[in-house]
């Protein structure tokens, strides 16, 4: 468990060293000033820090909440298109009164976003082009127009142009009091909308046909959600920038999706992850002058996603790998126990122990492999090793497991030949796999079905339940004894 | 030749509407529906009597799913109208339950079985209202009726096809409707589930509910349904199963006798979308 966790921790460390290297190269920051900056950040003395942090946290919450619906509705590309489409609106908002007035930029960007959505709708419904193509077209065109306009604005002789270029990659430090108010309003709006219209969003996202049959205005809900997403994109522009804002919608929600199977938990986790990513980005961009915030926020979100991807309790890649490995180890132990049983059975259970050589011969493997296997049994308390590990004695627990595995194997073989009409020589390989997964319930059902038979198709005795429970070598049975033991 | 057969087909007696007009669960009048300007349903006239289990059968592309979606007002119609319980269908939606095709949703969606069935109650809840204790009770009862109660808290992706279908049925039951539309509820379902669903549908019918089921298996259609609606772009026949289920009518439904109609549909499509020569 430890190694992957360290690996995920490495990412922020690498990032930190990257900023360090960058700072050293431009000769503006030394190690001590990074510490100073970090101190300034964590003491919140600087109003810029407070604004930046509050802003990125607010947008993290908003984007996390709305992004969850984007992800489950499979509209990730829509978020991307919307974010690129707002850029010309930002430029128009700036041109309105030649300053970075948050309200003018907000209105301009929202209008541009809606125009982009309308263009996508128009292309889809009047041509045979599908949504992804329409999105790609609109995204690129609007973005191109926006970049042209921003370049023109940069060259204008008049007006306070400072910070307009920051809309491409984001600069949390540029967040002012006016921006923050707007962000707070939109965040409250998003939270309220998700809380009040949760059931509408849920049912239309899961099954829009059914929602319509219940009388829900699915189009109104869809465009309402799109409008909220447009708002979220616009408030996120300042901090994350046009190019990367869609990742704020998608990445925290995607991480949350990997960790939970319930929509309300996904919304909650996604909002938390968005917040964390926002704070992470604000912090790192603060460490050096002119460092863009957007990429750091995105990398913060990606770090969270990586943790979910590798270590998620249900769907995590490494978690699954560990589970798989422990399962295959268990199967290997069970197979070793079975081999020991077979060796003893061939000797009619004379003697208590099996030598390493006997085990190796039975399993057709080297002495060294047999030694590794017997040590694994000893580690799990299934066997004790004597004479330098050359003699293997099963413990009561070992006997129980050995008997039950052999019993599963033989019962399954018998079931396949008797009840499912398999030929006796066709059943062994199947039983080799099934013996490890049969639950007690199925075993009992098979026994009943087989009328408590006591010999497998090859004529070998099936260990009784009593043998399994005794935790010792099975006793010789009378020919007429049945599966639950000789006493019945 | 074609018109002669059509008149034969139309001579099958259609059921008379009951006296009280308000109690007619569904009345479809001259309904025509087009997809991308290509007509897929032509002049549908159906008056459905209450308390019947009705199968809608016809070949692929006959417009079966389109008919039930249009009947619920979910599709734009070129002409005609639909009334449910004597009112325009949009005003009667709370009395209508719907089981869409199982493949129409994403079964990886992060909701539990309970959450999905609860959606059946949403139509009865007002704006801003949350499900009450009573709604929860109804949902649990409906899950019990389809024997899915032990799975209430499972995520839906862990279900088999038959279990998914039963969840959809439970959701429809939770709607507590008087008229049900079901789109292929037997598709991809094991035999045990199919039998359980049939019993459930018969129970519903016996309580006076009206159920229209899109079905594609002819032999079982004959056993399951009280009435059959034979559909191939238009209503070939609608009546009691024993009257309608005969060689000539099925031949007319499935036998490709409608070539003229579909050719005209293609022609209309070509002209309207400007591709015609």
- Nearest-CB residue to B110 (from A199, A215, A263): A263
Note whether B110 contacts A210, CB cutoff 8 Å.
no
Domain residues for the domain of A418 are 317-488
Average pLDDT over residues A218-236: 89
Q: How far is A449 from chain B (nearest CA, A)?
A: 21
Return the residue in A68, A200, A261, A266 with the most chain B beta carbons within 10 A, the one to mutate for interface testing.
Answer: A261
What does the alpha-carbon distance between residue B112 and residue A206 come to, in Å, rounded to a whole number? 12
Cβ-based contacts of A72 with chain B (< 8 Å): 106, 109-110
Looking at the structure, do residues A310 and A332 belong to the same domain, yes or no?
no
Looking at the structure, do residues A401 and A290 belong to the same domain, yes or no?
no
Looking at the structure, do residues A242 and A365 belong to the same domain, yes or no?
no
Looking at the structure, do residues A192 and A296 belong to the same domain, yes or no?
yes
Q: Which of A271, A296, A315 is where one domain is finished?
A: A315
Whole-number average pLDDT of chain B: 84
Question: Per-residue confidence at B263, pLDDT binned at 50, 70, 90?
Answer: low
Range with lowest mean pLDDT among A288-302, B6-20, B63-77, B152-166: B6-20
Q: How many domains does chain A have?
A: 2
Looking at the structure, do residues A129 and A211 belong to the same domain, yes or no?
yes
Q: What is the pLDDT of residues A329-344, one digit of tens each?
A: 988 898 899 889 888 8
Looking at the structure, do residues A307 and A324 belong to the same domain, yes or no?
no
Q: What is the pLDDT of residues A406-447, one digit of tens each?
A: 888 888 888 888 877 777 777 788 888 888 887 778 888 888
Looking at the structure, do residues A131 and A202 belong to the same domain, yes or no?
yes
For residue B238, what are the contacts with CB-CB under 8 A and spacing of at least 6?
B14, B15, B46, B227, B228, B229, B230, B244
Whole-number average pLDDT of chain A: 82
Give the pLDDT confidence score for residue B17 in this predicted structure.
47
Give the pLDDT confidence score for residue B252 in this predicted structure.
81
Q: What is the pLDDT of residues A349-385, one digit of tens each?
A: 877 788 888 888 888 888 888 888 888 888 988 888 8
Note whether B155 contacts A215, CB cutoff 8 Å.
no
Residue B35, Cα to own-chain centre: how many angstroms?
18
Q: How far is A228 from chain B (nearest CA, A)?
A: 18
Q: Is B187 in the A-facing interface, judged by CB distances under 8 Å? A: no
Q: For residue A67, what is the domain's CATH number?
A: 1.10.3470.10
Q: For residue A380, what is the domain's CATH number?
A: 1.10.10.10
Looking at the structure, do residues A371 and A321 belong to the same domain, yes or no?
yes
DSSP per-residue letters across A313-377: TTT-HHHHHHHHHHHHHHHHHHHHHHHHHHHHHHTTT-SSEEEHHHHHHHHT--HHHHHHHHHHH
Long-range CB pairs of A212-216 (<8 Å, 24+ gap) are A212/B72, A212/B74, A213/B72, A213/B74, A213/B93, A213/B96, A213/B98, A213/B100, A213/B181, A214/B93, A214/B94, A214/B98, A214/B119, A214/B122, A214/B123, A214/B175, A215/B90, A215/B93, A215/B94, A215/B123, A216/B122, A216/B123
Q: Which of A315, A339, A357 is where one domain is finished?
A: A315
Looking at the structure, do residues A280 and A321 belong to the same domain, yes or no?
no
What does the alpha-carbon distance between residue B176 and residue B181 come to, in Å, rounded to a whole number? 13
Looking at the structure, do residues A143 and A209 belong to the same domain, yes or no?
yes
Model ipTM over 0.90:
no
Looking at the structure, do residues A322 and A311 belong to the same domain, yes or no?
no
Looking at the structure, do residues A82 and A219 belong to the same domain, yes or no?
yes
Question: Per-residue confidence at A95, pLDDT binned at 50, 70, 90?
Answer: confident
Q: What is the pLDDT of residues A238-279, one digit of tens each?
A: 788 888 888 899 999 999 999 998 999 999 999 999 999 999
Going by C-alpha positions, the residue among A108, A104, A103, A94 that lies closest to residue A151 is A94
Query: pTM for the whole thing?
Result: 0.77
> Highest mean pLDDT range out of A66-75, A105-114, A449-458?
A66-75
Q: Which of A297, A315, A333 is where one domain is finished?
A: A315
């Amino acid at each position: 468990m430890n190694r992957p966790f360290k690996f995920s921790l490495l990412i922020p460390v690498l990032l930190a060293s990257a900023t360090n290297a960058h700072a050293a190269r431009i000769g503006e920051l030394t190690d001590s000033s990074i510490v100073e900056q970090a101190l300034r950040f964590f003491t919140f003395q600087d109003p810029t820090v407070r604004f930046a942090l509050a802003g990125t946290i607010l947008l993290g919450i908003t984007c996390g909440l709305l992004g969850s619906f984007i992800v489950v509705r499979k509209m990730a590309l829509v978020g991307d298109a919307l974010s690129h489409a707002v850029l010309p609106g930002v430029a128009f908002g700036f041109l309105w009164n030649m300053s970075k007035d948050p309200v003018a930029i907000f209105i301009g960007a929202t209008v541009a976003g809606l125009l982009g959505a309308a263009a996508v709708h128009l292309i889809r419904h009047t041509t045979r082009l599908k949504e992804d193509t329409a999105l790609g077209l609109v995204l690129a065109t609007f973005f191109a127009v926006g970049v042209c306009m921003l370049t023109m604005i940069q060259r204008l002789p008049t007006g306070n142009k400072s910070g307009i270029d920051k809309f491409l990659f984001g600069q949390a430090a540029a967040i002012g009091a006016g921006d923050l108010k707007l962000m707070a309003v939109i965040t409250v709006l998003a939270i309220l909308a998700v809380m009040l219209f949760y059931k509408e969003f849920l049912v239309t996202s899961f099954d829009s046909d059914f929602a319509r049959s219940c009388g829900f205005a699915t189009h109104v809900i869809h465009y309402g959600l799109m409008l909220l997403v447009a708002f979220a994109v616009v408030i996120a522009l300042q901090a994350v920038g046009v190019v990367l804002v869609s990742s704020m919608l998608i990445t925290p929600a995607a991480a949350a999706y990997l960790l939970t199977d319930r929509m309300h938990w996904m919304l909650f986790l996604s909002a938390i992850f968005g917040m964390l990513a926002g704070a992470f980005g604000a912090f790192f961009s603060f460490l050096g002058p002119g460092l863009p915030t957007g990429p750091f926020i995105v990398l913060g979100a990606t770090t969270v996603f990586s943790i979910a991807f590798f270590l998620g309790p249900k769907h995590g890649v490494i978690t699954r790998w560990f589970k798989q490995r422990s399962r295959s180890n268990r199967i290997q132990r069970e197979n070793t126990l079975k081999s020991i049983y077979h060796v003893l059975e061939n000797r009619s259970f004379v003697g208590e122990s099996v030598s390493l050589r006997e085990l190796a011969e039975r399993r057709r493997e080297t002495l060294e492999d047999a030694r590794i296997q017997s040590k694994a049994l000893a580690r799990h308390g299934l066997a004790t090793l004597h004479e330098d590990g050359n003699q293997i004695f099963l413990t009561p627990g070992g006997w129980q497991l050995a008997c039950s595995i052999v019993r599963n194997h033989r019962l399954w073989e018998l079931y396949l030949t008797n009840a499912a009409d398999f030929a006796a020589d066709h059943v062994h390989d199947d039983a080799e796999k099934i013996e490890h997964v049969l639950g007690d319930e199925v075993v009992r059902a098979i026994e009943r079905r087989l009328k408590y038979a006591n010999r497998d198709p090859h004529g070998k005795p099936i260990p009784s339940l009593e043998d399994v429970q005794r935790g010792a070598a099975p006793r010789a049975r009378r020919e007429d004894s049945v599966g639950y033991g000789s006493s019945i | 030749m074609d018109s002669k057969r059509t008149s034969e087909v139309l001579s099958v007696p259609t059921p008379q509407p009951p006296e009280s007009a308000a109690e007619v669960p569904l009345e479809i009048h001259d309904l025509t529906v087009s997809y991308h300007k290509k007509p897929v349903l032509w002049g549908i006239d159906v008056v459905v009597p209450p308390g019947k289990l009705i199968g809608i059968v016809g070949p692929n592309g006959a417009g079966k799913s389109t008919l039930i979606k249009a009947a619920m007002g979910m599709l734009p119609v070129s002409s005609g109208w639909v009334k449910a319980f004597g009112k325009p269908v949009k005003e009667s939606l709370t009395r209508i339950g719907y089981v869409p095709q199982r493949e129409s949703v994403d079964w990886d969606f992060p909701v539990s079985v309970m959450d999905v069935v609860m959606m059946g109650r949403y139509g009865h809840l007002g704006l801003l209202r949350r499900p009450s204790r009573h709604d929860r009770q109804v949902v649990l009862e409906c899950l019990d009726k389809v024997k899915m109660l032990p799975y209430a808290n499972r995520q839906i992706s862990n279900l088999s096809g038959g279990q998914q279908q039963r969840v959809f049925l439970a959701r429809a039951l939770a709607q507590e409707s008087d008229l049900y539309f079901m789109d292929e509820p037997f598709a991809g379902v094991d035999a045990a589930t199919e039998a359980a669903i049939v019993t459930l549908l018969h129970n519903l019918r016996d309580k006076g509910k009206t159920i229209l089921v899109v079905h594609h298996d002819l032999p079982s259609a004959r056993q399951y349904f009280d009435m059959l609606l034979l559909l191939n772009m238009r209503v070939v026949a609608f009546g009691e199963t024993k009257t309608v289920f005969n060689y000539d009518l099925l031949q007319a439904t499935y036998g490709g006798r409608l070539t003229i109609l579909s050719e005209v549909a293609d022609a209309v499509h070509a002209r309207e979308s400007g591709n015609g020569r």
